[in-house]
Amino acid sequence: MSFLTNSVAGLLAMSAAAVVVSLIPTNLAAQPAVAGAATEDTAIRPFKFRASDEELADLKRRIKATKWPSRELVADDSQGVRLATMQKLAGYWANEYDWRKVEQRLATLPQFVTNIDGVDIHFIHVKSKDPNALPVIITHGWPGSIIEQLKIIEPLTNPTAHGGTADDAFDVVIPSIPGYGFSGKPTELGWDPQRIARVWAVLMDRLGYKKYVAQGGDWGDAISEQMALQKPAGLLGIHTNMPGTLPDNISAALAGGPAPTGLSGDEKYAWDQLDFFYKHRVGYAQEMGNRPQTLYALDDSPIGLAAWMLDHDAASQALIGRVFDGQSEGLTRDDILDNVTLYWLTNTGVSSARLFWESKLAFFAPKGVTIPVAVSAFPDEIYTAPRSWTEKAFPKLIHYNRLPKGGHFAAWEQPQFFTEELRASFKSLR
């Protein structure tokens, strides 16, 4: 889920950072833009998805046919996702997990597809009953998807039933990034966060929203910050739970320079998180940033795909390990497998990885955003942005809060905290 550039040096310099059924009325495959077309197809088409019984049977067959490696030689996660964790996941996935449950949940939500810049963009669009609701476009990351945001839709659109007031209401738009989930797969180069940000502005305009806000973490932050830099006419402000705030001296130290001195407690905590991440966890981003097409196993092996997705950041991997050991956490076994299965059924393991290759952003570095920004800092994120760095990065900071719990998948893992943060963040922009 990080948007790291495509070489080790670039990573550190950047701030130390088919199988689709029932699309109505066309399939998910992205179609190239028609050169010289007289009119653009701006139609918004209803969308539904149902995997075939044959596809689900094939998934279970492949899981059961997994050729397992030998056990890791350490008693922790330092060599990667542990064999015991993956075998517990596989046993549950093959014998107990039911994809139809999340499929039914998705079927209750208004979903649509519209073609923008030659690619079909899938999105969930849930309107509040409150006529003064504030529209928000919420963007997922990697290895996430629209599954990350399902728990926050109802509290945001119907706040009076979830501890809020009518003044807290949002209209919620949750798109799938091109190459991810139910959106089309780009057939040409150039689909970087800047281009996706422009597409999101077109989407919100096409939905009739003249004033709105944007939210994101991981790739969702990269895209939301690019929207803020592009300043589409309707964008009032953004909220991020993984902001680009890293000072130049911290980036230089992470790239091999002298260790920083004089850090506050919060700054030292963030430094330690980033130092660990770049020394021990950044391999997935290097591979996807440099050679995404090499990852054929992601689209051929369910267990290969799941292991790759689980091995993201230390806190999330540890949480998922505890979940499959039977402990109660912010995520459930079904939550985790809903997301992995979505990637499997849409055949997007490799196509989603290409965004790392496309992006040349120094992800964790400040970008010069000058519109209103709200930041929620979760303690188990890749790094918990300190207030001091955040205030320097965003001159129009309208909200900052350090949460007591939560990590990289904030909306998914801690939906109540996340909902409360969005209500507080955008109150001054209504």
Give, as one character, the DSSP assignment of residue 168: G
> What pLDDT, on a 0 to 100 scale, did the predictor assign at position 190?
98
Six-digit token string for 142: 């990697």
Nearest Cα residue to 171 out of 215, 106, 229, 105 = 215
> What pLDDT, on a 0 to 100 scale, did the predictor assign at position 281?
86
Please tell me the distance from the alpha carbon of residue 289 to that of residue 10, in angstroms, as a whole number. Answer: 10
Show the beta-strand stretches assigned E in 164-308: 170-175, 212-216, 235-240
> What pLDDT, on a 0 to 100 scale, did the predictor assign at position 319?
96
Distances (CA, A) of 134 to 80, 152, 159, 285: 42, 15, 12, 35
pTM above 0.85, yes or no: yes
All domains in the chain, ordered by first residue: 8-429 (3.40.50.1820)
> What pLDDT, on a 0 to 100 scale, did the predictor assign at position 39?
66
Nearest Cα residue to 110 out of 141, 148, 146, 143 = 146
- Sorted by sequence, the CB contacts under 8 Å of residue 302 that are 6+ apart come out as 59, 62, 63, 66, 93, 340, 344
- Sorted by sequence, the CB contacts under 8 Å of residue 331 that are 6+ apart come out as 319, 320, 323, 409, 412, 413
Distances (CA, A) of 417 to 98, 235, 293, 402: 28, 24, 38, 11
List beta partners, residue 205.
none
H runs (alpha helix) in 311-370:
314-324, 333-346, 349-358
CA 413 to chain centre: 13
> What pLDDT, on a 0 to 100 scale, did the predictor assign at position 19?
31
> By the 8 A CB rule, do 348 and 321 touch?
no
Nearest Cα residue to 418 out of 153, 221, 223, 211 = 153
> What pLDDT, on a 0 to 100 scale, did the predictor assign at position 280?
86
Per-residue pLDDT of the chain (430 residues), as tens digits, is 444 433 333 444 333 333 333 333 333 333 333 333 346 799 999 999 999 999 999 999 999 999 999 999 999 999 999 999 999 999 999 999 999 999 999 999 999 999 999 999 999 999 999 999 999 999 999 999 999 999 999 999 999 999 999 999 999 999 999 999 999 999 999 999 999 999 999 999 999 999 999 999 999 999 999 999 999 999 999 999 999 999 999 999 998 888 899 999 999 999 999 999 998 888 899 999 999 999 999 999 999 999 999 999 999 999 999 999 999 999 999 999 999 999 999 999 999 999 999 999 988 999 999 999 999 999 999 999 999 999 999 999 999 999 999 999 999 999 999 999 999 999 999 9
